[in-house]
Amino acid sequence: MRTYLEFEQPIAELEGRIADLKQMDGVNVSEEVQKLQAKADQLLADTYARLTRWQKTQVARHAARPHFSDYVKYLVEDFTPLAGDRRFGEDAAILGGPARFRGRSIMLIGHEKGSDTASRVKHNFGMASPEGYRKAMRLMDMAERFHLPVVALVDTPGAYPGRGAEERGQAEAIASCTEKCLSLGAPLVSTIVGEGGSGGAVALAAANKVLMLEHAVYSVISPEGCASILWKDAAGKGESKAPEAAEAMKVAAQDLLELGVIDAIVPEPLGGAHRDIPLTVERLGDAVETAIHELEGMSPDELRAHRRRKFLEIGRAGLA
């Protein structure tokens, strides 16, 4: 059973009719099915070619979008999940561990949002606490020690704004994790695979190469949050003005490539990553492999200098 987004309703209707027709036994409907399928495909292509930034936000948050567990399944082999920050606890909003990626040993780190109610609660909807960032730092240290490239997958609404998180130094954890990314003596390739929510995302994305899936979004604040502050749309929890906020903030991968904030966009299957997860992961794998290949010859100091140059350049050139 496929989950459709609101703007996909016309596609849902067509695909529903096709499914119904296919159910009918004994009647020759293949011609009709073919015609409808062509129409549905065209509609899907047209819709996805013209997604607004708010629609992209919804695609990026799609319940069936590939999550960390899918990348573990299709992207790597011999993954050993590691737990705990060795200081306070384990935070399942950020997962990671060493793995084999197309023959290479790597350290895989990323947010996990969960895919049903129980797992969403377990992973806190991908909203990490200080322990998550501190675990990520621990894993990055280990990667550096063993000369493993780090592959980070970012998918979070943001860092968890909870009481305990604040008490245990959420701000310090994010700041230090960002610094760890920047000072890492191993190649670091980060991909925004779904939502890149603010500081909680950047803490894993101060990387040598920053990639984004085609319909992923990356922003300083959620469109709802921005709307509730700037459009004083607190009553509607920012929802009514969120589409405008998403447009104004330019949250799409295509915007970020133009602004020089990311290095490349990984194309998604037609209709979004959730329509073909293995294909999405394979394409991501190709892009990550290319990125790692470009970085592999660099010394730890060269990698640090590369990151520093890259981030200092952002916003300095090419904007008018």
Partner 1 sequence: MSWLSNLTPPGIKNMFKRQDSGDSLWVKCGGCGEMIFRRDLEASLQVCPSCNHHMKISVAERLKHLFDGGIYETIALPEPVMDPLRFRDEKKYVDRLKENRKKTGRNDAMEVAAGSIEGLPVIVAVQDFDFMGGSMGMALGEALIKAAEEAVARRRPLVVFTASGGARMQEGILSLMQMPRTTIAVEMLREARLPYVVVHAHPTTGGVTASFAMLGDVHFAEPGALIGFAGPRVIEQTIRETLPEGFQRAEFLLEKGMIDQVVHRKDMRQALSRLLRVLTKTGAVATPARPAIEMERPKAAGGGERAAPVPLDKAAE
Interacting residue ranges for partner 1, rule: CB under 8 A? 159-163, 165-172, 174-176, 178-179, 181-183, 198-199, 202-203, 206, 218-221, 226, 229-232, 244-245, 248-251, 255-256, 259, 261, 308, 311-312, 314-316, 319-320
Give the DSSP H/E element, type plus range, for residue 194: strand 188-197
Q: Output the smallest distance, CB 49 to partner 1, in A.
A: 23
Nearest CA-CA partner of 114 in 58, 163, 65: 65
Task: Report phi then psi at 291, rounded to 5.
Answer: -65, -45
Q: In this complex, which beta carbon is closest to partner 1, that of residue 98 or of residue 200?
A: 200
Q: In this complex, which beta carbon is closest to partner 1, that of residue 182 or of residue 264?
A: 182
Q: Are 6 and 59 in contact (CB under 8 A)?
A: no
Q: In this complex, which beta carbon is closest to partner 1, that of residue 76 or of residue 190?
A: 190
Q: Output the smallest distance, CB 78 to partner 1, in A.
A: 32
Q: For 305-310, which contacts have Cβ atoms below 8 Å and span 24 or more sequence positions?
A: 306/208, 307/181, 307/182, 307/184, 307/188, 307/206, 307/207, 307/208, 308/182, 310/208
Residue type at 294? E
Q: In this complex, which beta carbon is closest to partner 1, that of residue 112 or of residue 224?
A: 224
Report residue 291 as tokens. Answer: 């990125």
Q: In this complex, which beta carbon is closest to partner 1, that of residue 45 or of residue 259?
A: 259
Q: In this complex, which beta carbon is closest to partner 1, that of residue 219 or of residue 280?
A: 219
Q: Output the smallest distance, CB 5 to partner 1, in A.
A: 23
Q: Output the smallest distance, CB 136 to partner 1, in A.
A: 14
Let me know the angle formed at the C-alpha of 244 by 242 and 250, rounded to the nearest 5 degrees. 100
Report residue 189 as tokens. Answer: 């390739």
Q: In this complex, which beta carbon is closest to partner 1, that of residue 48 or of residue 218?
A: 218
Report residue 178 as tokens. Answer: 């960002």
The DSSP-derived string for 171-183 is HHHHHHHHHHHHH
Which residues are within 8 A (CB) of 267 and not within 5 positions of it... i.e. 6 or more apart?
214, 283
Nearest CA-CA partner of 97 in 86, 85, 110, 87: 110
Q: Output the smallest distance, CB 71 to partner 1, in A.
A: 24
* Distance of alpha carbon 81 from alpha carbon 99, whole angstroms: 9
Q: In this complex, which beta carbon is closest to partner 1, that of residue 185 or of residue 199?
A: 199
Nearest CA-CA partner of 272 in 190, 194, 158, 157: 194
Q: Output the smallest distance, CB 55 to partner 1, in A.
A: 18
